[in-house]
Structure 1
Amino acid sequence: MQGVKHMSRAEKRRYYSILYLGLLCILAISLPLSEFGLSLALIILFLAWLILGDHTKTLDRLRKRESIWWIGLIYLIHLAGMIYSKDMVYGWHDLRIKLPLVVLPLVMGTSDPLGRKEFHLVLRFFLTGVLIATLAGTLAVLRSETAALPDPRMLSPFVSHIRLSLFLNLSVFILLFRLFDVSVRGWWKKAGLVILIIWFMFFLGVLRSLTGWAVFLIGIVFIGCRYVYLSRSLLPGLFVATALITMVLVIASFAVRSVARFYHTDDIHIEALDKYTSLGNLYFHDPANRQVENGHYTWLYVSEPEMEKTWNQVSEIPYDSLDRKGQEIRFTLIRYLTSKGLRKDAEGVNQLSDTDIRAVEQGLTNVLFLKKWNPYTRLYELIWEIDFYLKGGNPSGHSVTQRMEYWKTGWRIWKAHPLIGIGTGDVQRAFEQQYRQDHTRLSPEWRLRAHNQYLTFLLTFGIAGFLLIIAAMGRFVYLERRKLDYFSLVFVLVAGLSMVNEDTLETHTGMCFFAFFLSLLFLARKEKYEKIKGRNNAGSRQAVG
């Protein structure tokens, strides 16, 4: 500290600028790789700003930059929510999670702005972190012995697979800009960008995150529409518009055909059903249960005594035990046999191959899930989840239908506290209480929070706090509207869409992602870096529309 006091202002500024840029790069690369790295870099960044920052400029910038105060208002609303909270421990934990929303805009908004090269250097570190995360996930899968499509959680060893899907989306959109940036010269650079884009898109597909897929498709449509709007040349704009319409029609057609395929079921005549197995045992039939797998009814031709005896002869996992996903293996086996069109008896089990047996042990409920790269597989899983839920099934463990339960529960909580909500600290307690009141079908381990950031704001702070938060975010963007370029728009799109299906700001990584890129793109740049110098072959006003 004594040495710092004797530094000249110029020396302190030079040391701080180097440290500041380095820490931003560490923050960027840590986002997809290390929560510890994020926390450490954040603490050091704040201390460096506190000790080495030019605080005469800081005060002046804080006076002039109203937008920083508007973002700070969101944190103040969380603080105010502590006044009427009962669970102080949870409340203070939530306030700690939200600290990056104060620290990063304050530090990055009052430090000297980044130049174009520095800005792109930070983005390159982020892209490098995402690439390392995907390679680590690939290595983890290659080391595993699973025969089926890998569990998305295995593919994302450092952060949530949904969070990684958001990082992949933002990375693809950044790389698309660089691909059409005429300042990026050399065929090998362009080829490298194309390879990275293809790899990230492939990995996004394998992650099987519906949130990630939805954000990608909406993002591509947005970028395409923006290109058409900004394009001065008729032909490129017409080509992109045609491609977008074709893509939407193909996806819609595929979805409709998939639903029709799912509900194309066997014709059954109750009086014609066999009553006995080939071994002479009585079949169990429940024609009233309409649960299906690949068009075959699950609860027809069931002989559990035969299945149990035969299964225990061919598998190391007992029939009355759990598969490797923690599901009752007898139900996994029943669904798997049904998906192959086999009867649920000794004869059906004996027709399973070694691959089928391993698949059941791993928790695969349908033979389709052995097809690693079939796009219908994830869509089938989604349709099955919704169909099962609507027929009265337990949504536990099913990502989409669980969220339906979360949203219904969260909505009821808000309706009971419409004006100012339940307070910062009582969210988890309120959900637990509401689940008990509703006699929810969800298992205790799946009784989670809203998984919708907007709904979380609404039930936590009521309509008053919710409108204030939305107004603060809107005012921030309006005040910094000069920075609304390609980069900031795709970030707002990715972050905004993620909040529909996730509590993005309720986790440390999600909060850091939002606060970091919000500050980087709106506060930390000298200018918007979208306009490309040189000739644009597409003839558009800006490089990427």
Structure 2
Amino acid sequence: MSALTPINHTRIYLFGLMVMAVALPTSNLLMSLAQIIIGTNWVLEGQYKEKIKRFIANKPALIFTSMFGLHLLGLLHTANWEYAAWDLRNKVPLFVLPFLITSSNPLSRKIVDKVFSVFSISILIATIICAGELTPINNWVRNMLDYPPTEIMDARNISHFISHIRFALMICLSFSWLMFQLLQTQLSLVRRIALIAISIWLVVFLFLMESVTGLTIVIVVGFSTLLYLSVQQESRIIRGISILLLALIPVLTYRYMANMVSDFYKVKEENVADLPKYTASGMLYFHDLDNQQLENGNYVWRYVCHLEIEPEWEKRSAIPFKGKDKAGQFVEYTLFRYMTSRGLHKDAEGLARMSDAEITAVENGIANVRFTEVSSIES
């Protein structure tokens, strides 16, 4: 018999879930604390026989937790026990959390909504803080607290609480719950407007973070929601708007993709007879008219002068011109592709127009300026 009353166990369990809802997008430390609270409460509450029965009766939970069993079976074939132990330790929550939650007393719909509300508020606050990385605000705060400033080179790095992939998936989960809430008929106008505003912000943030995975999931969820509204909604106005948006989504997506492809592959044709024979320094150009390789519509193997570009490259980089970049590609070809994508001639003058940051980009294996200037969604 536990020293705590059942109602206190329920409240402790709910408190642990609330802490977890806050921690998921913001803090691994809080996440560990939440698991300790829920796990300790589960042990102290007792009633183990009833809990095991609940877990076994929950088929989805059994299937989900069986994934952990697959990892255990994988130990039979592992050759790296150190990595295997690390991997299993990180995947223990895949078994423990579903087991603790599904074996505990079922939560009412009202309680579940409260937990998801806290989770969505935590997501909202986390996205606002992370979006501040794209403005001077966060560095201003760091300066006030005597912390060094941070420079964001990759938009995905604005997710500094947790991995950007996990963060994007959590945003999608919150977005899905918001869409589900919007389908409820008993919502007040103010609450409905708030849910719509938060949903729009989450989509905007996924664009800011350049999360292709997140945006794809959001489009699928949004499309499914509109499809439901177009069939089930009694209001003709809402049904009409839903049908219109359903029609617009594929059309706008197609136009957007078509424009990107057109910009990337549109060839900038030149009169072969007018191609210059010499560089500004009087060195001979090489034009391979048979090679049709393109970068941003420009021919890669035209305007090439090895005699000029090789010594100039080795003045600015520790990686030899005939060596390999950090992605394992030959520097010569990465450099030529990058310069072509910028519309530069492959000579001393063209290389001089490249910044130190661009030299570093080539050393890292980036072969097209689009990968440094536009979002990863377009590139």
TM-score bracket relative to the smaller structure: 0.7 to 0.9
1:109-140 residue CA offsets vs partner (Å, 9 max, x unmatched): 12222233322221122223322332332233
Amino acid at match of 1:249: V
Residues 308, 319 of structure 1: 8 Å contact kept: no
Given residue 216 of structure 2, which amino acid in structure 1 is its aligned partner?
A: A
Aligned 1:80-159 pairs, distance under 5 A: 80-142=73-135, 143=139, 150-159=153-162
Residue pair 1:16, 1:48 contacting (<8 A) in 2 also: yes
Matched AA of 2:7: R
| CA distance, structure 2, for counterparts of residue 160 and residue 63 of structure 1 | 33
| 1:346/1:221 CA distance change after superposition, 3 Å | same
What is the rounded CA distance, in whole Å, between the counterparts of 2:234 and 2:169 in structure 1? Answer: 31
Q: Do 1:134 and 1:155's aligned partners in 2 also have CA atoms closer than 8 Å?
A: no
Shift of 1:367: 5.5
Residue 12 of structure 1: aligned partner: 5
2:16 to 19, 23, 35: 23
1:32 matched residue in structure 2: 25
- Cα RMSD for the two superposed structures: 3.7
Shift, 1:366, TM fit: 5.2
Cα deviation code 1:217-275 (max 9, x no counterpart): 22222222222233345553343123212210221233233323322213356665323
- Distance across 2 between alignment mates of 1:240 and 1:155: 33
Any conservation in 1 of the 2:2–2:44 contact (CA below 8 Å)?
no
* C-alpha contact (below 8 Å) 1:275/1:282 kept by paired residues: yes
> Shift of residue 191 of structure 1?
4.3
Displacement of 1:288 after TM fit? Answer: 5.1
Which residues of structure 2 form unaligned runs of 5+?
140-148
Q: Using the TM superposition, give the Cα deviation of residue 205 of structure 1 relative to its aligned residue in structure 2, in angstroms.
A: 0.7
Which residue of 1 is the match for residue 144 of structure 2?
none
Query: What is residue 231 of structure 2 aligned with on the other side?
Result: 229
Consecutive unaligned residues in structure 1, runs of 5 or more: 382-545
Per-residue Cα deviation, 1:339-377 (whole angstroms, up to 9, x for no partner): 342323344456x4xxx73762673865556766xxxx5
Q: AA paired with 1:262?
A: F
TM-score (norm 2): 0.77
Specify the alignment match of 1:257 in structure 2.
Answer: 259
Which of 150, 175, 178 is the matching residue for 2:178?
175
> Would the alpha carbon gap of residues 279 and 230 (structure 1) be closer, same or farther in structure 2, given more than 3 Å must change?
same
1:107 to 1:124, Cα distance in 2 relative to 1, 3 A: same
Partner residue, 1:214: 216
1:49 is the counterpart of 2:51? no
Shift in Å, 1:50: 1.0
Q: 2:342–2:369: 8 Å Cα contact kept in structure 1?
A: yes
Structure-2 change in CA distance of 1:310 and 1:66 (3 Å): closer
Letter in 2 for 1:49: W
SS in 1 for 2:119: helix
Q: 1:273 to 1:206 in 2, by over 3 A?
A: same
- The answer to whether the 8 A contact 1:13-1:53 is kept is no
- Give the SS at the match of 1:98: helix
> Helix, strand or coil: the match of 2:344?
coil
Q: 1:277 Cα shift?
A: 0.2
Work out whether residues 212 and 377 of structure 2, in 8 Å CA contact, stay in contact via their aligned partners in 1.
Answer: no
Within the candidate set 273, 276, 280, 2:275 is matched to 273
Separation (CA, whole Å) in 1 of partners of 2:81 and 2:310: 51
Q: Does the 8 Å CA contact 1:140/1:155 hold for their aligned counterparts?
A: yes
Classify the secondary structure of the residue corresponding to 2:5: helix
Q: Note if contact 2:227-2:243 (Cα within 8 Å) is conserved in structure 1.
A: yes
Equivalent-residue separation in structure 2 for 1:85 and 1:378 (angstroms): 35
State how many pairs are aligned: 357
Equivalences for residues 297-316 of structure 1 within 5 A: 297-303=299-305, 306=308
State how 1:162-201 maps to structure 2 within 5 Å. 162-179=165-182, 181-185=184-188, 187=190, 189-201=191-203
Q: How big is the shift at 1:174?
A: 2.2
Paired AA for residue 244 in structure 1 = L
Distance verdict in 2 for CA 1:6–1:67, change over 3 Å: closer
Q: Is residue 25–residue 126 contact of structure 2 (8 Å, CA) maintained in 1?
A: yes
Which amino acid counterpart does residue 15 of structure 1 have in structure 2?
A: N
Q: Which whole-Å CA distance do the structure 1 matches of 2:250 and 2:177 have between them? A: 22
Task: Determine the structure 2 residue equivalent to 1:244.
Answer: 246
Higher relative contact order (CA 8 A, sep 6+): 1
Structure 1 counterpart of 2:358: 360
Q: Is the 8 A contact 1:228 1:237 kept in 2?
A: yes
Q: Distance in 1 between matches of 2:209 and 2:291?
A: 32
